[in-house]
């Protein structure tokens, strides 16, 4: 009886967090949108070569962190801009503006990415694109959705018809990136880069893209998107099982029928993943 009551209490807690997260993603998006329309070139600060920090990054992360600490004061917080606070079993992992390089140059392709991780598993993920008012949301075991409508990955079987996005950053040697790009092109894939890894993962979840690969991503860039793809029926790397929350790591998230080809072309191993679709990988 106790275990049944405990399970019901855990389910109720997660549902409450899910409702909180949906509203938080949209309120954070309103802060980002107001910063985007107000922005001027002078607001850009470089954290490093090709690494941008805008005033809006800081404002959005402060908004998110404040709301989480008010609602769930015992939870941990890991943000791209302010780092780790109050680590523990339950932690929120946040990229306030993913696609900062786009945001900094007034390109409307950016998002807020928020994941909720408990006991080493991502249970909730939200990716909100304020420019298009598109909210992607996933709860483990309950599917993935875009603006409340269920979504699923593409059914693409032929890499010659595939649209693949390959992420880039200075964290990976340039020749490794170029070699990976060459192997994907040799598969016949159309390869693009949109400079927002989180949005790219969301697009795999709803079938706009067939695969997203990046040789190193930070946890705040990818955890929400990996849950979206998994809940939408895709194959994903076991990012957290490989220590990704601390060190980041390689990311592959793909339509299941081209998963083995994409894994071979990118050199990113999908084994060990508990993605439902991995077993159905061709």
Closer CB to ligand LIP, 130 or 197, in the complex: 197
Please, which residue, 195 or 268, has the CB nearer to ligand LIP? Answer: 195
**What is the smallest separation between the CB atom of 150 and ligand LIP, expressed in angstroms?**
25
Q: Which spans in the chain are helix H?
A: 2-38, 55-71, 100-104, 174-186, 197-205, 219-231, 244-247, 259-266
Q: Which is nearer to ligand LIP, 96 or 234 (CB)?
A: 96
**Residue from 75, 81, 210, 214 binding ligand LIP (CB under 6 A):** 214
Among the listed residues 54, 100, 254, 266, the single contact to ligand LIP using CB under 6 A: 100
Kindly tell me which residue out of 56, 129, 139, 196 binds ligand LIP, with binding defined by CB under 6 A: 196
> With respect to ligand LIP, which residue has the nearer C-beta, 13 or 51?
51
Question: Where in 31-90 is the site for ligand LIP (CB under 6 A)?
Answer: 80
Cβ at position 239, least distance to ligand LIP in Å: 13
The CA distances from residue 22 to 25, 26, 128, 148, 269, in Å, are 5, 7, 9, 10, 32
Taking the chain, what is the end-to-end CA distance rounded to the nearest angstrom?
Answer: 43
**What is the total count of residues that contact ligand LIP (CB under 6 A)?**
16
Q: How many CA atoms lie within 13 A of 89 on its CB side?
A: 1
Distances in whole angstroms, Cα of residue 192 to Cα of each of 6, 145, 249, 278: 46, 24, 21, 24
**Residue 117: partners with Cβ closer than 8 Å, 6 or more residues away:** 90, 91, 92, 93, 123, 223, 240, 245
Hey, which residues between 2 and 41 contact ligand LIP (CB under 6 A)? none
Q: How far is the CB of 6 from ligand LIP (least distance, A)?
A: 37
Cβ neighbour number for residue 282 with a 10 Å cutoff: 9
Are the C-beta atoms of residues 212 and 168 closer than 8 Å to each other? no
Q: How far is the CB of 24 from ligand LIP (least distance, A)?
A: 18
236, containing H or E segment: strand 235-236
At residue 139, φ and ψ (nearest 5 deg) are -125, 130
Nearer to ligand LIP, 46 or 161 (CB): 46
- Binding span for ligand LIP by CB under 6 A among 130-138, 153-161, 192-200, 236-244: 192-200
- Sort 212 into a burial class: Cβ within 10 Å, 0-12 / 13-18 / 19+: buried
When binding is defined by CB under 6 A, the residue of 75, 81, 98, 206 that contacts ligand LIP is: 98
Residue 197 engages ligand LIP in binding (rule: CB under 6 A): yes
Write down the least CB distance from residue 65 to ligand LIP, Å: 16
Residues 114-173 that bind ligand LIP (CB under 6 A): 167-169
User: Contact region for ligand LIP (CB under 6 A) — 5-13, 18-26, 94-102, 253-261?
Assistant: 94-102
Q: How many CB atoms lie within 10 A of CB 128?
A: 28
Kindly tell me which of 80 and 230 has the beta carbon lying closer to ligand LIP.
Answer: 80
Q: Contact residues for ligand LIP (CB under 6 A)?
A: 80, 95, 98-101, 167-169, 195-198, 214, 217, 221
């Amino acid at each position: 009886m106790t275990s049944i009551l405990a399970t019901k209490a855990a389910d109720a807690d997660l549902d409450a967090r899910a409702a909180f997260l949906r509203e938080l993603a949209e309120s954070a998006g309103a802060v980002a949108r107001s910063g985007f329309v107000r922005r001027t070139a002078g607001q850009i600060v470089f954290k490093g070569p090709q690494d941008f920090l805008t005033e809006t990054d800081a404002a959005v992360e402060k908004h998110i962190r404040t709301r989480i600490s008010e609602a769930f004061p015992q939870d941990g917080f890991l943000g791209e801009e302010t780092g780790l606070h109050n680590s523990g079993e339950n932690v929120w992992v946040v990229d306030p503006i993913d696609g900062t390089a786009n945001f900094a140059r007034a390109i409307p392709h950016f998002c807020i990415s928020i994941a909720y991780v408990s006991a080493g598993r991502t249970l909730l993920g939200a990716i909100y694109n304020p420019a298009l008012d598109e909210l992607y949301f996933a709860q483990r075991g309950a599917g993935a959705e875009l603006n409340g409508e269920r979504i699923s990955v593409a059914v693409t079987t032929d890499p010659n018809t595939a649209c693949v996005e390959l992420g880039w950053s200075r964290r990976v040697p340039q020749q490794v990136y170029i070699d990976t790009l060459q192997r994907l092109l040799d598969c016949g894939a159309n390869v693009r880069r949109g400079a927002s890894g989180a949005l790219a993962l969301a697009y795999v979840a709803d079938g706009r893209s067939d695969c997203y690969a990046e040789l190193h991503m930070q946890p705040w860039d990818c955890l929400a998107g990996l849950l979206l793809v998994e809940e939408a029926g895709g194959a994903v790397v076991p990012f957290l099982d490989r220590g990704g929350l601390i060190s980041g790591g390689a990311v592959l998230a793909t339509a299941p029928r081209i998963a083995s080809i994409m894994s071979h072309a990118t050199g990113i191993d999908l084994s060990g993943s508990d993605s439902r679709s991995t077993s159905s990988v061709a």
